[in-house]
Amino acid sequence: MFPLRAALFPASTIASSAVSQPQFSLAFSKIGVGLRFRLQPAARRTSSFPPYPSNFAEKPKVVAASQTWLAPAPSKPAGKPKALLAALTDFAPFPIVDFCQKNGIVIEAYCPLVRNQKANDPTLNSIATTHQKTTAQVLIRYCLQKTWVPLPKSDTPSRIIENANVYDFELSEEEMVKLDGLDQGMDRATRVIFGMEVEDLQHELEDYESLKRYTEDLRSRHKEMKERLVAAEKQTADLEKEVVVYKAAAESAEKEAESAKEQLERVAPLIDVGVRVRLRFMEQAQEHVLERKPEILNQEIILAGNAAAHGGFGRADALLFKLGFVPQGVHENLFKVFHDLYQIYPNHYEEMPAKLLEATNYEVTLKTMNVLNEGLTRPGKERQTVMENIWILRNKFLRLGIEEFEKDPDVDRRLAVIKELTATIVYADRRRRG
């Protein structure tokens, strides 16, 4: 059977009345339990608290520390509330126990293990050895047989279980008397409750002040570090914004560089033609400026310049139209010329296979030359052979498509023949012209 809720009397301590009292009142009202706070001495009253002074005990007379537990006694006949529970540490003076029992006050053994201060007590250890129990179990059993309410404290699971295992033995009357004999005496009542001597308490208070100052210092440092952290986070956020800006600028610059590179690659054929032509000009200028003989000039530079200036170069010629370098006045005529030479319009030039475009360049070179059938070289025959091979390549492209055309070995063979014969014809033409 569970006890009725009305028979229960929860007890607790609170750290701050101003903060905790309203919270305790709300919590207890929710579980249907009445609440009374401890006696309020008259000396602590103010104009605003307590609201009902008649509910509190009058200020007790000044008495010795060992007699303070008797102070609530005069309030009983007047019907004032009094403490209904009393906390007790083992070996506290028995007059306190007798007083509580006579006045119907339930005793809580608030510190039944005496904070382990009696762990080495010979009497206690002898009794524990007899029952094969720990000193803590003996003290808890002692409280139970005294009809007290022991409140042993532990956060270790094994010790919690051990502290509850006290119902399989019983202390004899002689053992109870021996434990009663450990009464600390009246003058040490308050000291034992705190578990330390007055001198030790003073040291604890001094340590508390030191810890308090240390805590305040830590709080100050924590505040400073927090401010630094906020500043660092702001600086980091600003830097991240700058990184985003710089990254965007870098990406933009990279795109511009890529665009410039693509533009340069597009005009590379025109640059190549211009470079070769201008190098030829500079090389031939040596004949007049430096009075050098023609035979000692660099013929490779001159021939490359001649080919660039007078030979077929479809990619460069197509760019003249694509990039808008052809004047409007001659655009229409030159557009037709380009188509007649390369058999394709400038805007579709790059759609043709590279090997066919190369063959077409040789064809255009020969179209713009006057080839005569003279001497043993018979360039007219070679020209006819070149044109026949180019015609075969065009038909092969129409039949195979770009991919197969570019991989066909016969295409490479015929292109080599076209290249070689074109060079022969150009060389013969140059010799004929002197």
Tens digits of per-residue pLDDT, 298-331? 988 988 888 888 888 888 999 889 888 899 989 9
Is the N-terminal amide bond of 152 cis, ω within 30° of 0? no
Domain count, the chain: 2
- According to DSSP, residue 150 is labeled E
Point out the least confidently predicted range of 33-47, 238-252, 269-283, 378-392: 33-47
- According to DSSP, residue 113 is labeled T
With respect to residue 24, please indicate whether it lies within any of the assigned structural domains.
Answer: yes
Alpha helices in 290-408 (DSSP H): 299-310, 314-322, 328-342, 354-367, 379-400, 402-407
With respect to residue 161, please indicate whether it lies within any of the assigned structural domains.
Answer: yes
The more confident residue out of 197 and 376 is 197
Distance of alpha carbon 206 from its chain centroid, rounded?
45
Long-range contacts of 116-124 (CB under 8 A, 24+ apart): 117/195, 118/90, 118/91, 118/182, 121/182, 123/178, 123/179, 123/181, 123/182, 124/179, 124/182
List phi, psi (to 5°) of 15: -80, -40
Strand partners, 109: 88, 150
With respect to residue 336, please indicate whether it lies within any of the assigned structural domains.
Answer: no
Whether 313 and 361 have beta carbons less than 8 Å apart is answered as yes
With bands split at pLDDT 50, 70 and 90, how would you rate the model's confidence at 121? confident
pLDDT of 86 strictly over 70: no
Amino acid, res. 369: M
Is the N-terminal amide bond of 50 cis, ω within 30° of 0? yes
**H or E stretch covering 116:** none
Point out the least confidently predicted range of 89-93, 119-123, 298-302: 89-93
pLDDT of 225 strictly over 50: yes
pLDDT of 252 strictly over 80: yes
With respect to residue 308, please indicate whether it lies within any of the assigned structural domains.
Answer: no
pLDDT of 76 strictly over 80: no
Amino acid, res. 226: K
Instruction: Please tell me the predicted confidence (pLDDT) of residue 267.
Output: 83
Whether 343 and 314 have beta carbons less than 8 Å apart is answered as no
Give ∠ CA 429-342-367 in degrees, rounded to 5.
20
With respect to residue 289, please indicate whether it lies within any of the assigned structural domains.
Answer: no
Point out the least confidently predicted range of 55-69, 259-273, 313-327: 55-69
Instruction: For residue 353, give the 3-state DSSP assignment.
Output: coil
Instruction: Please tell me the predicted confidence (pLDDT) of residue 102.
Output: 82
Q: How far apart are CA 88 and CA 27, in angstroms?
A: 27
Give ∠ CA 23-26-29 in degrees, rounded to 5.
145
- According to DSSP, residue 62 is labeled P
96: left (phi over 0), alpha (psi -120 to 50) or beta: alpha
Structure tokens at 372: 């005569």
User: What CA dihedral angle connects 58, 61, 67 and 72, to 10 degrees?
Assistant: -10
Mean pLDDT over 94-117 rounds to 75
Mean pLDDT over 331-354 rounds to 91
With respect to residue 244, please indicate whether it lies within any of the assigned structural domains.
Answer: no
Instruction: Please tell me the predicted confidence (pLDDT) of residue 226.
Output: 93
- According to DSSP, residue 85 is labeled E
Structure tokens at 281: 């000009």
Mean pLDDT over 244-250 rounds to 91
With bands split at pLDDT 50, 70 and 90, how would you rate the model's confidence at 408? very high
Q: How far apart are CA 164 and CA 158, in angstroms?
A: 10
Q: pLDDT by residue (tens digit) across 23-57?
A: 767 776 766 666 655 544 444 444 444 444 444 44
Q: How far apart are CA 99 and CA 81, in angstroms?
A: 17
Instruction: Please tell me the predicted confidence (pLDDT) of residue 2.
Output: 45
With respect to residue 293, please indicate whether it lies within any of the assigned structural domains.
Answer: no
Mean pLDDT over 361-382 rounds to 70
Average pLDDT across the chain, whole number: 77
Other C-beta atoms closer than 10 Å to the C-beta of 284 total 17
pLDDT of 128 strictly over 50: yes
Look at residues 196, 231, 251 and tell me which one is the last residue of a structural domain: 196
Mean pLDDT over 275-287 rounds to 88
CB-based contacts of 205, cutoff 8 Å, min separation 6 = none
The more confident residue out of 62 and 151 is 151
Where in the sequence is the domain holding 422, given as residue range(s)? 352-434
Whether 277 and 308 have beta carbons less than 8 Å apart is answered as yes
Closest CA to 355 of 303, 298, 394, 299: 394
Point out the least confidently predicted range of 264-273, 337-346, 369-378: 369-378
Look at residues 196, 226, 257 and tell me which one is the last residue of a structural domain: 196
Structure tokens at 153: 């404290």
Instruction: Please tell me the predicted confidence (pLDDT) of residue 18.
Output: 55
With respect to residue 287, please indicate whether it lies within any of the assigned structural domains.
Answer: no
pTM, rounded to two decimals: 0.41
Look at residues 145, 167, 196 and tell me which one is the last residue of a structural domain: 196
- According to DSSP, residue 8 is labeled -
Q: How far apart are CA 27 and CA 62, in angstroms?
A: 36
Whether 380 and 373 have beta carbons less than 8 Å apart is answered as yes
